[in-house]
Amino acid sequence: MHGEVVSRLQSSDSDASASHGWRSLEPPDTARDSLHRRPFRFAHDLRNSPLFSLESLVALSHEIMHRPGDAYFDAGDVAIDDRWGNIPMPQMSLPEVIGRVETARAWIIMKHVEKNPAYAEVLDGFARFVWDLAGPKQARMIRNPEMLIIVNSPNRLTPLHFDAEINFLVQVSGTKQIWICDPMDRSVVSERDLEAYYAANNYGTYRPEAEKNAAHFALDPGEGVHIPSHGAHWVRNGGSVSVSFSLNFEHPNWLHRDLHRANHYLRRFGLTPRPQGASPVADRVKALGFGAMDRTRTAIRRLKKR
Ligand SMILES: [Fe+2]
Distance of CA 160 from the midpoint of ligand 1 (Å):
8
CATH number of the CATH domain containing 184 = 2.60.120.10
Distance of CA 176 from the midpoint of ligand 1 (Å):
13
Distance of CA 81 from the midpoint of ligand 1 (Å):
14
Considering only CA atoms, give the Rg of the chain.
20
Distance of CA 189 from the midpoint of ligand 1 (Å):
14
Cα gap 168→145, rounded to integer Å: 11
Q: Across the chain, what does the average pLDDT equal? A: 86
Q: Give 186-236 pLDDT, tens digit per residue.
A: 988 888 989 888 887 777 778 888 888 899 999 999 999 999 999 999 999
Distance of CA 262 from the midpoint of ligand 1 (Å):
24
The reported pLDDT for the residue numbered 204 is 73
Cα gap 298→304, rounded to integer Å: 10
Distance of CA 140 from the midpoint of ligand 1 (Å):
23
Give yes or no: residues 216 and 282 share one domain: no
Quote the number of domains for the chain.
Answer: 2
Are 259 and 196 in contact by the 8 Å Cβ rule? The answer is no
Our separate counts of H helices and E strands in the chain read 9, 12
Categorize the per-residue pLDDT at 168 as very low, low, confident or very high, splitting at 50, 70 and 90.
very high
Give yes or no: residues 179 and 233 share one domain: yes
Give yes or no: residues 181 and 100 share one domain: yes
Determine how many CB atoms are found less than 10 A away from the CB of residue 127: 20
Are 226 and 26 in contact by the 8 Å Cβ rule? The answer is no
pLDDT at 305 over 70: yes
Categorize the per-residue pLDDT at 294 as very low, low, confident or very high, splitting at 50, 70 and 90.
confident
Distance of CA 151 from the midpoint of ligand 1 (Å):
13
Are 232 and 84 in contact by the 8 Å Cβ rule? The answer is no
Are 287 and 204 in contact by the 8 Å Cβ rule? The answer is no
Distance of CA 8 from the midpoint of ligand 1 (Å):
31
The pTM of the full predicted model, rounded to 2 decimals, is 0.85
For 150, phi then psi, to 5°, come to -120, 125
Distance of CA 231 from the midpoint of ligand 1 (Å):
9
The reported pLDDT for the residue numbered 9 is 40
Q: Give 67-92 pLDDT, tens digit per residue.
A: 989 999 998 777 777 776 677 777 88
Distance of CA 85 from the midpoint of ligand 1 (Å):
14
Give yes or no: residues 110 and 204 share one domain: yes
| Cα-based angle 59, 149, 126 (whole degrees, multiple of 5) | 115
Distance of CA 96 from the midpoint of ligand 1 (Å):
24
pLDDT at 150 over 60: yes
The reported pLDDT for the residue numbered 151 is 97
Give yes or no: residues 266 and 180 share one domain: no
Are 117 and 10 in contact by the 8 Å Cβ rule? The answer is yes
Give yes or no: residues 121 and 12 share one domain: yes
Give yes or no: residues 73 and 107 share one domain: yes
Distance of CA 93 from the midpoint of ligand 1 (Å):
23
**Residue 91: domain span:** 2-250
Give yes or no: residues 101 and 31 share one domain: yes
Give yes or no: residues 158 and 293 share one domain: no
Q: Give 236-293 pLDDT, tens digit per residue.
A: 999 999 999 999 998 877 778 878 888 888 888 888 888 888 888 777 777 787 777 7
Q: Give 23-72 pLDDT, tens digit per residue.
A: 999 998 999 999 989 999 999 999 979 999 999 999 999 999 999 899 99
Give yes or no: residues 267 and 224 share one domain: no
Distance of CA 82 from the midpoint of ligand 1 (Å):
14
Residue 15 β-bridge partners: none
Categorize the per-residue pLDDT at 14 as very low, low, confident or very high, splitting at 50, 70 and 90.
very low
Distance of CA 169 from the midpoint of ligand 1 (Å):
9
Distance of CA 162 from the midpoint of ligand 1 (Å):
6
Domain edge (last residue) among 213, 231, 250: 250
Nearest to 245 by CA among 117, 113, 155: 113
What string of DSSP letters covers 83-108? PTT-SPPPSS-HHHHHHTTTTS-EEE
Give yes or no: residues 230 and 284 share one domain: no
Distance of CA 288 from the midpoint of ligand 1 (Å):
28
Q: How far is CA 153 from CA 75, 100, 163, in A?
A: 9, 9, 22
Distance of CA 167 from the midpoint of ligand 1 (Å):
8
Give yes or no: residues 71 and 199 share one domain: yes
Cα gap 290→49, rounded to integer Å: 45
Distance of CA 303 from the midpoint of ligand 1 (Å):
36
